[in-house]
Structure 1
Amino acid sequence: MTTTEDSSADRLVLEAVGVSLSGPRVSSSDAAKDDAQIDARIAVAFSGGVDSCVLLDAAVRVAGASRVIALHVHHGLSVNADAWLAHCEAFARERGVAFDARRVEVSREAGASIEANARDARYRALDAMCEAHGVRTMWLAQHADDQAETVLLQLLRGAGLAGLAAMAPAYSPAGAMAVRVRPLLHLLRAQLEQYANARGLHWIDDESNADTRYARNALRHEVTPALAVHFPGFRDALARTAAHAASAQRLLDELAQLDLNAMARDEGRALSHDALLALDDDRALNLLRYWMRGLGLVAASSARLNDALRQLREVGAAHEGHRLRIDHAGQALRSYRGLVYWEAGDSRDPADETALVAREAGELRWQGEPVWRLPQWRGSFVFAMVEGGANAADRGGLDTIPLTVLKRARLAVRSRSGGERMRVNPSHDAPGRTLKNLFQERGIPAWKRDVPLLYVGDELLFVPLLGVNRAALPETVDAAEARIRIDWREDLTIA
């Protein structure tokens, strides 16, 4: 027999799911995604624990089985992972719900958080499955206890407003197809368990949830029970704190976006050094955090950002000789020629002005093709005939190459490895110079220097942004010979 308490939990869960189904407000700068939650199909991130079992069961009751798909991620971290996968599939099938699962590898590198790595892998897999099934709304089963634990963890870590804002009821991650919605965020774990018991649901108990070596588990088993005794309303209070923090963070983000609009260079990948230093410290630090988040970089600690800003002020935009470099999480903050920017790599990498990224090499026996497409470089070499023979060799400042040079050996494209040299001076006695020095001389930002080098045989022939290596050309010119101009064209990026 269903008790009054059970009936209350049933009603609360179904109401919460119904509200989400009708379309919660999404925190997103992309207005086009605001209606994504109204899409006909809903994905439920389904681990098989009590929370996600309740969410899936309620979603079927409110929306109907045909509108729901259950998505499971197999981490392989537990010896029971295969059994959990089987349980989840059976649970979904019993309710007539479509089911999909992905297996992921979780990094166990020393010093890395297994929890964080597993979470990142899980969301990548869930997003991939949503995209594969064309689903634009994904429901997550976090609840009020999870929210309270998250706020406490962020407080103990000394997090800023963005951390204290904790989990949003609905949000649209950058680059993800599906909006993430948390229908149960205002319900207690105890209410979900009441619903599950009343419905006779069977769920998985992950043995790792009892391991208090993990910070969240320690809070759950040892701290929050004591808080519940002395401060019964602590969950509601922490939820209000998260909401206030989220509101304040939105205002800071709006201010940062105004500042970014005023000083962004090269499509937001760089900032004006002078404009950044014109801001007071609080405003400049707010901009740096927002900028890094927009670039997809790992958040830096307050101490690291304060030190970076201090060094930027000490160096000043005019002191080019210093060429500031501050390492952070595999990236380097650079100040050079009036710009502040991030580049991949740190001080352990080769001492070059760019991160040297190895890409797949390619070869071509050129037979007059007008375009050589290089997907691994996201661009193409374009070969165009230049009329006028030798007299057109440098017309309009365009480097051209005799046709016989292109056909004397196979063309090859390679990554920069450091130390490559070329001659840009027409004089045969002029010395070759390193690509690094030529890039610097022409003021080409570091992030633009990861370009494919075009070789004919083993001889460097052409470098995008720098032009033809004149050392590869013959000393004598046949005025009647056809000549070719080479351009490098990057793929069009569609936002």
Structure 2
Amino acid sequence: MTSTAETPADRLVLEAVGFSLSAIPANARIAIAFSGGVDSSVLLDAAVHVAGASRCVALHVHHGLSAHADTWLAHCEAFAQERRVEFAAERVEVSRDAGVSVEAAARDARYRALDEMCASRGVATLWLAQHADDQAETVLLQLLRGAGLAGLAAMAPEYLPAGASATRVRPLLHLLRAQLEQYASERALRWIDDESNADTRYARNALRHEVTPALTVHFPGFRDALARTAAHAASAQRLLDALARMDMEEASRDEGRALSHDALLAFDDDRALNLLRYWMRTLGLVAASSARLGDALRQLREIGAAGEGHGLRIDHAGQALRSYRGLVYWEAGDSSDPADETALAARAVSELAWQGESIWRLPQWRGTFVFAHADAAVGEADATIPVSVLQRAVLSARSRSGGERMRTSDAPRAPSRTLKNLFQERAIPAWKRDVPLLYIGGDLLFVPGLGVNRAVLPEKIDEAEPRVRIVWREDLLIA
């Protein structure tokens, strides 16, 4: 579908959208992150005019942070329906973890929901409505926060985050807010005004309402200058990332979830800190301040290359940096939690009355229990169990709560031991201990990485009875 551009604003917006459209395969669908504000309303309207309604899907995230959130949801759905565009919405809970601002938590929850909605619809391109004023504000905020190059690089026109299924594209990044508002006014679009955008207690709003108007008067080209600064920073950051990737090849352990303590300490401070920042981004962690990272590196050097740093604990945004048996890694928890692997997040209990199923998918655990015949190929964490035991009661998958015990020996009088001790004995790192515990009724039956609790098996087992091997398989992570 095409449209005749009648005004400069029309031309600018439609040409920007058309340029982004030309970069994706013909007939590929496009998801538009649609909040209902003027920016995303312009982007959705223009996408429909340029690409056609059938190629577009409007995705809305309901944060529940405003009393008007339900009204906004209804408005967005009606706006999409008027243009015959598929509409989808997702409600999210915004985390209030210590050390993370509400704005940052809401942003993270929004992007997770958008990516999940894209993945469920097989859409590989997500369009975002940020514009040149947003970019300038981001660069200014990062400058004022003393951010490094990654922060000053601000928002990229196009990128695919680690683990995401959809490439994020910002077609309007070089256009001014005023140009988008002119487009919206000329086309008589209706949009939402979020009352929180006027609250100057938030740093971005203070810049928008009190600082940038003054800059516009005295430095009218400041947006272009800041955009160039962002581009230069992005170029320099790409070089640092290339160096960090080289260093990761040497220091990475367990598919990037840990670093070798020895390899990390072999680098000088600048290079080690660059590696730590890059590693945190690959893990999806919030960036840490230079002071916090510098303190972490100092402590790592003090405990020595042996890495037996049981006392090391650097808390950051709900995570703790730990060192154990020559590895450096992050585990869930904050300073109120015990400094070991027991600081794990609880998940909802799932139940299954097993009737011979071969798989039991547990989305909240990002994995699957596989029940295979005993003659099937042996997995990493395997065990065989008589079918009668699995049918004895309802199976349940539960989080660790601390203090669980099991017996791994076949000897009837062998003592049970805590899972913590067994994990430590087998040198299983903390991030691999966050696994579902499989119960039969009220009894612990199977623990991934440790095997079957022999205490729940009958003393005499009919050798002719069919047996099942249980294997826990984690979902594949797409980097």
Q: Structure 2 length normalisation: TM-score?
A: 0.82
Return the letter of the residue paired with 2:22. Answer: S
Q: Which residue of 2 aligns with 1:205?
A: 193
Distance 1:431 1:351, change over 3 A: farther
Distance 1:181 1:457, change over 3 A: closer
Return the letter of the residue paired with 1:116. Answer: A
CA deviation string 1:204-243 (max 9, x = no partner)? 3333322222211111111111111211111000000111
Q: What is the alpha-carbon distance in structure 2 between the residues aligned to residue 383 and residue 135 of structure 1?
A: 34
Q: 2:210 aligns with which of 222, 226, 240?
A: 222
Q: Which residue of 2 aligns with 1:438?
A: 422
Q: Which residue of 1 aligns with 2:369?
A: 380
Q: Which residue of 1 aligns with 2:403?
A: 419
Contact 1:154 1:164 (8 Å CA) reproduced:
yes
Contact 1:385 1:482 (8 Å CA) reproduced:
no
Contact 1:363 1:410 (8 Å CA) reproduced:
no
Contact 1:149 1:219 (8 Å CA) reproduced:
yes
CA deviation string 1:21-53 (max 9, x = no partner)? 211xxxxxxxxxxx5x65532233333333233
Q: Which residue of 1 aligns with 2:300?
A: 312
Q: Which residue of 1 aligns with 2:140?
A: 152
Q: What is the alpha-carbon distance in structure 1 between the residues aligned to residue 209 and residue 73 of structure 2?
A: 26
Q: 1:450 aligns with which of 425, 434, 440?
A: 434
Unaligned residue ranges in structure 1 (runs of 5+): 1-5, 24-34, 387-397
* 2:58 aligned counterpart, secondary structure: strand
Q: Which residue of 1 aligns with 2:21?
A: 21
- Matched residues, number: 465
Q: Which residue of 1 aligns with 2:472?
A: 490
Q: What is the alpha-carbon distance in structure 1 between the residues aligned to residue 416 and residue 287 of structure 2?
A: 42
* 1:180 aligned counterpart, secondary structure: strand
Distance 1:79 1:273, change over 3 A: closer
Q: Which residue of 1 aligns with 2:179?
A: 191
Q: What is the alpha-carbon distance in structure 1 between the residues aligned to residue 227 and residue 357 of structure 2?
A: 61
Q: Structure 1 length normalisation: TM-score?
A: 0.79
Contact 2:387 2:468 (8 Å CA) reproduced:
no
* 1:491 aligned counterpart, secondary structure: strand
Give matches, 1:50-449, under 5 Å.
50-106=38-94, 113-318=101-306, 320=308, 322=310, 324-350=312-338, 352-359=340-347, 373=360, 375=362, 378-380=367-369, 382=371, 406=389, 410=393, 415-423=399-407, 431-449=415-433
Q: Which residue of 2 aligns with 1:9?
A: 9
How far is the alpha carbon of 1:315 from its aligned partner? 0.4
Contact 1:39 1:137 (8 Å CA) reproduced:
no
Q: What is the alpha-carbon distance in structure 1 between the residues aligned to residue 135 and residue 390 of structure 2?
A: 66
CA deviation string 1:419-466 (max 9, x = no partner)? 344455677776544332232223222222334556677665654444
Q: What is the alpha-carbon distance in structure 1 between the residues aligned to residue 298 and residue 454 of structure 2?
A: 44
* 2:146 aligned counterpart, secondary structure: coil
Contact 1:382 1:486 (8 Å CA) reproduced:
yes
How far is the alpha carbon of 1:343 from its aligned partner? 1.7
CA deviation string 1:375-422 (max 9, x = no partner)? 366343657669xxxxxxxxxxx9988969948964855543333444
Contact 2:383 2:471 (8 Å CA) reproduced:
no
Contact 2:100 2:317 (8 Å CA) reproduced:
no
How far is the alpha carbon of 1:281 from its aligned partner? 0.9
Q: What is the alpha-carbon distance in structure 2 between the residues aligned to residue 180 and residue 12 of structure 1?
A: 21
How far is the alpha carbon of 1:139 from its aligned partner? 2.1
Return the letter of the residue paired with 2:20. Answer: S
* 1:123 aligned counterpart, secondary structure: helix
Distance 1:168 1:83, change over 3 A: same
Give matches, 1:29-48, under 5 Å.
39-48=27-36
Distance 1:187 1:109, change over 3 A: same
Q: What is the alpha-carbon distance in structure 2 between the residues aligned to residue 50 and residue 454 of structure 1?
A: 50
Q: What is the alpha-carbon distance in structure 1 between the residues aligned to residue 433 and residue 393 of structure 2?
A: 24
* 2:7 aligned counterpart, secondary structure: helix
Contact 1:317 1:337 (8 Å CA) reproduced:
no
Distance 1:283 1:480, change over 3 A: same
Q: What is the alpha-carbon distance in structure 1 between the residues aligned to residue 75 and residue 82 of structure 2?
A: 11
How far is the alpha carbon of 1:275 from its aligned partner? 0.7
CA deviation string 1:268-317 (max 9, x = no partner)? 11111111110111111111111111112222221111111111111013
Contact 1:352 1:418 (8 Å CA) reproduced:
no
Unaligned residue ranges in structure 2 (runs of 5+): 1-5, 376-380
Q: What is the alpha-carbon distance in structure 2 between the residues aligned to residue 8 and residue 370 of structure 1?
A: 62
Q: What is the alpha-carbon distance in structure 2 between the residues aligned to residue 319 and residue 403 of structure 1?
A: 43
Larger radius of gyration: 1
Return the letter of the residue paired with 1:52. Answer: S
Overall identity of the aligned pairs, in %: 74
Contact 2:128 2:171 (8 Å CA) reproduced:
yes
How far is the alpha carbon of 1:323 from its aligned partner? 5.2
Alignment RMSD = 3.8
Contact 2:33 2:126 (8 Å CA) reproduced:
yes
Distance 1:430 1:95, change over 3 A: closer
CA deviation string 1:346-365 (max 9, x = no partner)? 44334644444545557788
